[in-house]
Amino acid sequence: MLVADNHGTHRWTGRTVRWVTVDRIIFGRPLRSVAFDVAVSGLVALFAVAGAVAQPGGWQATLVGIGMVVALLFRRTHPSAVAAGVAALALVQVVAGWGPLGYDIAVLIALYSVVKYADRLRDGVIAGLVAAVGVVLAALQAPGPAAWWASAIYFGLITGAVWLMGLNVRTRRLYVLSLEERATTLEREREAEARAAVAEERTRIARELHDVVAHSMAVMIVQADGVRFTIDRDPATAREAAKVVADTGRQALEEMRRLVGVLREPSRPEPAAAPDVVAEPGGGLSAEPTHRRPALVELPGLLDRFRAAGLRVGYATTGDPVPLPPGLELTVYRVVQESLTNALKHAGVGASVQLRLDWSATTVAVRAVDDGRGRPVVRPAPSGGHGLVGMRERVGVYDGSLTAGPTQAGGWRVEARLPLPSAPDSEQGEAA
């Protein structure tokens, strides 16, 4: 589907509308081509049969014409052989002294076919030379020098026009075939790049979620050691530490379940989008180290970096923020980062972006809307990234939804909704 990109340009989204035409096949060839060739051959046969009584040579000449008709049926698949056969039959006609006849239009059709369909243009050149000799032989049968010259010029002009028309159609046909092949190649490359981007982003998600789970396991070990040392002296503290161990273990198990789920389920590749970069002071962009695990408390610093890069970022929150699991918190941070990077790359320096986090009892929503009225960045951002793919993958891990698209005012909107996890105590109460 073709939509407006950030901002004022167009791009293809992951869902591509394909127009598929199904051709019926007969004798290994499309039915339309076979029907057209039969119609052409039938026209030549009509000329051959119609003059059977009045034309020189009578029925013998008609049989020569029928031979040309049969040869023309294969003019697409074997153009060189058809041209050679028609030329041989035309030579029989000249030797017999019958002169030019109505069915000799088959010679022009064979000449056109060999120039258009032959694998090598050399065959078309040879056919043109043979046709020139045939023009001379046909003109020699005209009575008197004046008639000879008139016939030679007339037949020569017609033959040359047919040869040039075949060459022009051949050139256009090869050009169209090259464009189709190039489009097919580009489509394969685009799909391969999209698959590679998804694989790379999933690898990165796996690394980051591995850090989340490793952090949870470290907390569990520390708390378990605390239980071991305090269980006899301070049972209340030991019980609280054991509760922390249980809650942390459940959370880590849930993170692992989501990780395994997103890595197992294949997703549809989508076009590449903004890379995972952050703004540097002075208008530049740089990749953020992959070993860090940012948190929401770092959002003010992130917004300041984008403001220093030239964006006018407005930030607001609604509702009461609640603590988030590390993986979900990282997802919210990355969605904000990718949305602002996308706005800086496409809306440009000086654009205004309104960022809002909406907290409710069940969801947290991230909404970023820019006006698309900035100017291009002085130093272009790196190309070939996969920001939208990354956001979609990350949001999908937590069963959230992501929408992105142009606004009526000419800007771009990104909105992600993520469900909040229910508290472990409430889950246990519901289970009881």
**Range 188-269 classified under CATH 2.60.40:** no
Q: What DSSP letter does each residue of 332-396 carry, written as one string?
A: HHHHHHHHHHHHHHHT-BT-EEEEEEEE-SSEEEEEEEE-S--B--SSPPPSS--HHHHHHHHHH
Chain segment 151-197, per-residue pLDDT in tens: 788 888 988 898 999 899 889 988 888 888 888 888 888 888 878 87
Q: Could you say which architecture CATH assigns to the domain 277-429?
A: 2-Layer Sandwich (3.30)
Residue 206 pLDDT exceeds 80? no
pLDDT classification of 401: cutoffs 50, 70, 90: very high
Cα separation of 6 and 411, whole Å?
7
The pLDDT value recorded for residue 190 is 84
- Which of 262, 272, 251 shows the shortest CA–CA distance to 197? 272
pTM for the whole structure: 0.43
Q: Return residue ranges of the chain for CATH 3.30.565.10.
A: 277-429
- At residue 349, φ and ψ (nearest 5 deg) are -65, 135
- Computed over every residue of the chain, the mean pLDDT equals 76
Of 103 and 114, the one with more pLDDT: 114
Between the alpha carbon of residue 148 and those of residues 93, 136, 163, the distances in Å are 18, 9, 22
Q: So what's the pLDDT on residue 264?
A: 56
Residues of the chain with CATH 1.20.5: 188-269
